[in-house]
């Protein structure tokens, strides 16, 4: 009951902020439509919908880090978290309460992205459902980043780091805006040492029915998500027991 009440509060805080909806769902859709329009007018296949939809789905998830980080940071800076720390809520109530509402939001983002992609020519088949499942580890990765950022930074800093830096870095290094093979070299090596390109490639593999290629990419994302989540939990618990 305690956990559900707290999770419900966090869901309301997230969904009632129009900026969250605008950036989380609206902005990725605009980018999807824009790049599809560009593709329609160029002779090379740079933004075909099978490549673009997985990239935009992962790009949309990066805003989840921003949402979760801002909610936690605001709770900290307004003393609301102090009030909750003085209540019988346990550490696990806090962590699950902040995490649970974000997962359905992330899946909803994916659904909206793929529905829009159907209108742009993405084949409507069961592989899209598989792609939604594949998006869960990247969603957990971004939720963990948000939890970590919200535990350490102010809401303004979260806005800068997760809103500007993370969304851009994760998009540039994901291979969504351009094929990483075109750049190659150190850029490509860095991109594939990080989880974002793997998240896009795993989703791409799912959507194109290339099942054997899913897990080799997804393990990278799962590994990063697990490490980030553990760090976030440790930092949050430390903050909970600290004097600040």
By beta-carbon proximity to another protein, the closer residue of 20 and 62 is: 20
Q: Does 80 bind another protein (CB under 8 A)?
A: yes
End-to-end CA distance of the chain: 28
Among 90, 70, 73, residue whose Cα is nearest residue 81: 73
By beta-carbon proximity to another protein, the closer residue of 59 and 98 is: 98
By beta-carbon proximity to another protein, the closer residue of 46 and 84 is: 84
Q: Does 87 bind another protein (CB under 8 A)?
A: yes
Choices 82-90, 113-121, 128-136, 156-164; region in contact with another protein by CB under 8 A: 82-90
Q: Does 241 bind another protein (CB under 8 A)?
A: yes
Of residues 38-77, those binding another protein (CB under 8 A): 74
Q: Does 13 bind another protein (CB under 8 A)?
A: yes
Q: Does 239 bind another protein (CB under 8 A)?
A: no
- One of 22, 37, 82, 165 touching another protein (CB under 8 A): 82
Q: Does 1 bind another protein (CB under 8 A)?
A: yes
212-218 CB contacts, 8 Å cutoff, 24+ apart? 214/130, 214/134, 218/134, 218/137
Q: Does 238 bind another protein (CB under 8 A)?
A: no
Q: Does 227 bind another protein (CB under 8 A)?
A: no
- One of 38, 83, 92, 124 touching another protein (CB under 8 A): 83
Q: How many CB atoms lie within 10 A of CB 60?
A: 28
Q: How many CB atoms lie within 10 A of CB 199?
A: 33
Q: Does 156 bind another protein (CB under 8 A)?
A: no
| Cβ 69 vs Cβ 149: under 8 Å | yes
By beta-carbon proximity to another protein, the closer residue of 13 and 50 is: 13
Q: Which ranges of the chain would DSSP assign to H, the alpha helix?
A: 2-15, 18-21, 27-40, 49-77, 80-85, 91-99, 102-119, 126-134, 136-152, 155-158, 167-172, 180-183, 185-193, 195-207, 214-240
CA angle 111, 94, 18 (to 5 degrees): 45
Return residues touching another protein (CB under 8 A): 1-2, 5-6, 9, 12-13, 16-17, 74, 78-80, 82-90, 241, 243
């Amino acid at each position: 009951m305690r956990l559900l009440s707290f999770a419900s509060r966090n869901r309301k805080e997230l969904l009632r902020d129009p900026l969250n909806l605008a950036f989380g769902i609206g902005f990725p859709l605009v980018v999807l439509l824009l790049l599809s329009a560009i593709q329609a007018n160029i002779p090379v296949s740079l933004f075909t919908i099978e490549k673009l939809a997985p990239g935009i789905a992962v790009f949309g998830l990066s805003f989840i880090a921003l949402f979760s980080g801002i909610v936690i940071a605001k709770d900290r800076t307004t003393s609301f978290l102090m009030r909750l720390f003085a209540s019988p809520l346990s550490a696990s109530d806090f962590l699950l309460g902040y995490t649970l509402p974000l997962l359905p939001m992330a899946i909803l983002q994916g659904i909206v992205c793929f529905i829009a992609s159907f209108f742009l020519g993405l084949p409507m088949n069961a592989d899209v459902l598989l792609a939604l499942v594949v998006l869960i580890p990247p969603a957990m990765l971004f939720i963990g980043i948000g939890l970590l950022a919200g535990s350490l930074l102010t809401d303004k800093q979260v806005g800068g780091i997760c809103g500007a830096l993370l969304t851009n870095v994760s998009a540039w290094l994901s291979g969504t805006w351009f094929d990483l093979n075109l750049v190659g070299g150190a850029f490509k090596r860095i991109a594939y040492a990080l989880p974002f390109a793997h998240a896009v490639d795993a989703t791409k593999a799912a959507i194109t029915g290339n099942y054997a290629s899913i897990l080799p990419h997804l393990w990278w994302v799962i590994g990063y998500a697990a490490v980030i989540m553990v760090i976030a939990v440790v930092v949050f618990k430390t903050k909970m027991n600290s004097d600040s």
